[in-house]
A and B are shown apart, each in its own frame.
Chain A
Amino acid sequence: DGGITQSPKYLFRKEGQNVTLSCEQNLNHDAMYWYRQDPGQGLRLIYYSQIVNDFQKGDIAEGYSVSREKKESFPLTVTSAQKNPTAFYLCASRTTGQGAYGYTFGSGTRLTVV
């Protein structure tokens, strides 16, 4: 079955460490997105990519980095520069083209700084 796989489900990071969250999709979707969700807040866009080898900053890109070397994969690195990384991270994808289509989300990664 097609879908988006995020791993790991839970991740613990020590202060000063970089960590990478994986996002893989087999839906043949062109566009992929990373969002962050904090308790009581909506989803906030970190980075997005509408095509391979191209990506744009979202609203809260500071302290994060991404790559899009393959259509299927859009990993997110949380760097030590991100001062408050504890959150629920969601990856999403959608097909592009005429009209707008709903996102498909992965099941998320919960990152905790210890």
Chain B
Amino acid sequence: RKEVEQDPGPFNVPEGATVAFNCTYSNSASQSFFWYRQDCRKEPKLLMSVYSSGNEDGRFTAQLNRASQYISLLIRDSKLSDSATYLCVVTDSGTYKYIFGTGTRLKVLA
């Protein structure tokens, strides 16, 4: 089993739609979680951290479920500019090395 797993997609959604991605992780001792956004042929950029109580940043909501070992990202009112690959990141519990999922590709259609 991979340490961090994501559905590769692509998720094709119309503008204005709500879309959610999940990411599962295998190490129950993982302590920190992030969502990154990566545009085609560019470097990943931090979208948001994921806190135990869940957190929101504008149209984006992140949730953590430690019991089931997954994190989620919800995007409301999708924009064309949201089209990108979304990477789930989990930290190694001892060294804080970051372990990346392979990413979920989102295409928002006009």
Interface of A toward B, CB cutoff 8 Å: 31, 33, 35, 40-43, 45, 48, 50, 58, 88, 90, 96, 99-100, 102-108
Interface of B toward A, CB cutoff 8 Å: 4, 8, 31-32, 34, 36, 41-46, 49, 87, 91, 95-98, 100-103
Q: Are A105 and B45 in contact (CB under 8 A)?
A: yes
Query: B91's contact among A45, A100, A105, by CB below 8 Å, is which?
Result: A100
Q: Are A102 and B49 in contact (CB under 8 A)?
A: yes
* C-alpha spacing A41/B32, complex, angstroms: 22
* C-alpha spacing A3/B101, complex, angstroms: 24
Number of A-B contacts (CB under 8 A): 46
What is the minimal beta-carbon distance from B7 to any residue of chain A, in angstroms?
A: 13
Interface of B is mostly: loop
- Chain B hits for A107, CB < 8 A: 42-43
What is the minimal beta-carbon distance from A112 to any residue of chain B, in angstroms?
A: 13
* C-alpha spacing A62/B101, complex, angstroms: 22
Q: Are B97 and A45 in contact (CB under 8 A)?
A: yes
Query: A43's contact among B44, B45, B95, by CB below 8 Å, is which?
Result: B44
- Chain B hits for A33, CB < 8 A: 97-98
**Are A42 and B87 also in contact (CB < 8 A) when A48-B97, A100-B31, A100-B96 are?**
yes
* C-alpha spacing A50/B92, complex, angstroms: 14
What is the minimal beta-carbon distance from A52 to any residue of chain B, in angstroms?
A: 17
- Chain B hits for A50, CB < 8 A: 95
What is the minimal beta-carbon distance from A94 to any residue of chain B, in angstroms?
A: 8
Q: Are B32 and A105 in contact (CB under 8 A)?
A: no
**Are A100 and B43 also in contact (CB < 8 A) when A41-B102, A42-B100, A42-B103 are?**
no
